[in-house]
Structure 1
Amino acid sequence: MLYTPIQFRNVELQNRWVMSPMCMYSCENGVANDFHFVHYGSRAQGGTGLIMVEATGVEPRGRITNHCMGIWNDEQARELQKIVNFIHKNSASKIGIQLTHAGRKGSTWNNIQIPVEEGWETIAPSPIPYHPTERIPHVLSVEEIRNLVLNFKDAARRAVDAGFDIIEIHGAHGYLIHQFLSPLSNIRTDEYGGSFENRIRFLLEIVDAVNEELNENTALFVRISGTEYAENGWNVEDSVKLAKELNNHHVDLVDVSSGGNIHGAKIPVFEGYQVPFSSQVKNRAEVNTGTVGLITTVEQAEEILQKGDADLIFIAREILRNPYIAVQGSFEMKEECFFPHQYLRAKISS
């Protein structure tokens, strides 16, 4: 199944390998550069079905660090378009971008919050910092929340104009959307807090706004944390329930990760440790899912698909180590995969 195509709207991926979005902390003023061109282009040359560009801020405060990527202005979009054009012209890969807002987890470096003079005032649904030693984030008003929805919408428009095939909304890992989802970080008493329906409202408004900028040639994914490993926090039952709602709002795939919202949460880490969350969301909500987390071999990835635990395999550290895992896996499994014509002399025939 790894080398079986799959389609989302009119976007067909040639295989089920996905380069998971990973921050590179290498931008100035949110602008991609030559490093990013080589970084993403090389993975496309390796046959990866979908290249996901790293968490990209929808406004300056949306970045995790001051060296993270952005798409809140046209210069940033133009530089990203160069990468998109190269990948479309020189590979069979599709390319997506992850739109994000860090919320209270922004203005950091090396996982430490930097002074507001060097960074910025962070924002959140409630006056609760991620770590007790950090400054209290600014609590968003309803008007500010609605402006943030428009930031996501504008970022999606720029991404579509730049030629991206897939937009992913980042609702995981303790960033702003996740902060709204969790009752541990959202203690609001207005229409954006309290009940499950209120806590998911911000995300659904973003999904609807982004979908207004899309057509059948651009698909929409949402990344969530299947659980946050904390008592009375967001859990897999919530994720299944949310996935059903996302499906009703024309989301094509739920990318299931975990954790990130509660400082000090104990996370049991082992090979494929997040696959069970993807499996539950996929099979109980009856939606397409992607899974991620210490997936390192072709055999492991194929087994996940064969068992029906996910539809896409997102790989992170392994594709940093080996940009050619997809094409090398095709040799091992005697399957067809894109191979650069410039390199044909090195192709291992099946």
Structure 2
Amino acid sequence: MDRLRAFEVFATVVGRGSFTRAADALDTSPANVTRYINELEAHLGTRLLNRSSRKLSLTESGEALYERSKSILEEVADAEALASSATLQPRGRLRINAPVSFGIRQLAPLWPRFMQAYPDVELDIALSDRVVDIVEEGYDLAIRISRTGPATHAARKLATSRNIVCAAPAYLKKHGTPQVPADLAVHRCLGYTYAATANEWHFVDEEAHSHVVKVNYVMHANNGDTAREAALAGQGVIWQPAFLIGEDLREGRLVPLLPGYRMPDIDVLAVYPSRRHLSAKVRVMVDFLVEAFKAAPAWYVPPDAAVPTAAPAPARRRRVK
């Protein structure tokens, strides 16, 4: 059995939704299509398709093989193009995973430009704040917001974002303004579920001394915009990257806190399985993103920039009886 041909037949049957339409697309007979599917199922020892008189449906094994078959066929097409042409044209489906808020705010405006430049690349964008296994889950590329790069995959840095602790003016008027990190222990804080440090917030002062404070959360959220909305409503103190809250800081809707103390910066990374055998579609996407973020973004805060801070809350007068 020609396994590569069998994968092609199987993927075409699934994509076209029938044996007959697949046979037409492959310029062969329905009997040949049926033979390839039967031989593939026998070789793998499992059923791939549930057949009925009206429609086809994938089994669990069929779903897994379908995704991998498409990737294999795309890689074979890339290899053939590389062998037959000095210039490989990027094409095929490109699966990208990115965080929700960053994907909507910073990446979504870029995709039309990429699509216009590379019309033969089909973008498949999935947004999730969960850290995915790009190999296990079949992604070609992931955008990560991280303080440290990946241990097992290749990565290129796109930008750096400053993390800033802040709160709404209404919250500070009611609860006062923290002056040192330790003050946060008595404040209402809004947490990010996927933060590596849980309820410990880490700071470094101007003399490079480390400060760690355990905060009390009144809300956890697995998405930065959710925590941001609560902060804008005066419900607590948050730390978030500048790409998410930069405009709020400039417009005064949120006020940066703790002058003289900084949280560690985070990098925006393009992560992919390996630098070896990098497909053309991944290579051009990474280069495109590097160029798009080459100039300091509007939300970027240089490491040595002074950030304005809120004035301390006025002291309350004690009543004298």
Q: TM-score range by the shorter chain?
A: under 0.3
Alignment TM-score, normalising by the size of structure 2 = 0.22
Alignment TM-score, normalising by the size of structure 1 = 0.21
Greater RCO structure (CA 8 Å; 6+ sep) = 2
More strand by share: 2
| Bigger radius of gyration among the two | 2
